[in-house]
Amino acid sequence: MAEKGKKQWNGFSLKPKKDVPEGLWMRCSKCEHMFYKKSVEKNLNVCPQCNHHFRIETNTRIKYLVDEDSFQEILSGLTTDDPLHFKFRGTTYKQRIKADQKKTGAKEAIRIGKAFIKGRGLILGVMEPNFLMGSMGYVVGEKICVAVEKAMEESLPLVVVCCSGGARMHEGVVSLGQMAKTSAALAKFDSANGLFISVLTDPTTGGVTASFAMAGDVVIAEAGALIGFAGPRTIAETIKVELPEGFQTAEFMLEHGLIDMIVERKNLRSEIARLIDYCHK
Q: What is the pLDDT of residues 114-164, one digit of tens each?
A: 999 999 999 999 999 999 999 999 999 999 999 999 999 999 999 999 999
Could you give all domains of the chain from N- to C-terminal order, each with its CATH number?
A: 19-52 (no CATH), 55-279 (3.90.226.10)
Give average pLDDT by consecutive 10-residue segment, the chain, 281 residues: 54 58 86 94 96 96 98 95 89 95 96 98 98 96 98 98 95 96 98 98 96 98 95 85 89 96 98 95 67
**What is the per-residue pLDDT for 81?**
86
Over residues 40-65, the pLDDT tens digits come to: 999 999 999 999 999 999 999 999 99
In DSSP terms, 74 is beta-bridged to 112
120-127 and 34-36 strand pairing = unpaired
**HSE toward the beta carbon, residue 67, CA cutoff 13 A:** 12
Burial class (CB in 10 A: 0-12, 13-18, 19+), 35: middle
Count of CB atoms within 10 A of residue 136's CB? 31
Q: What is the predicted pLDDT for the residue at 15?
A: 60
Query: How many Cβ atoms are within 10 Å of 176's Cβ, its own excluded?
Result: 17
| Per-residue model confidence (pLDDT) at position 7 | 54
- Asked if residue 168 lies in contact with residue 208, where contact means CB atoms within 8 angstroms, the answer is no
How many CB atoms sit inside 10 A of residue 77's CB? 7
| pTM, rounded to two decimals | 0.90
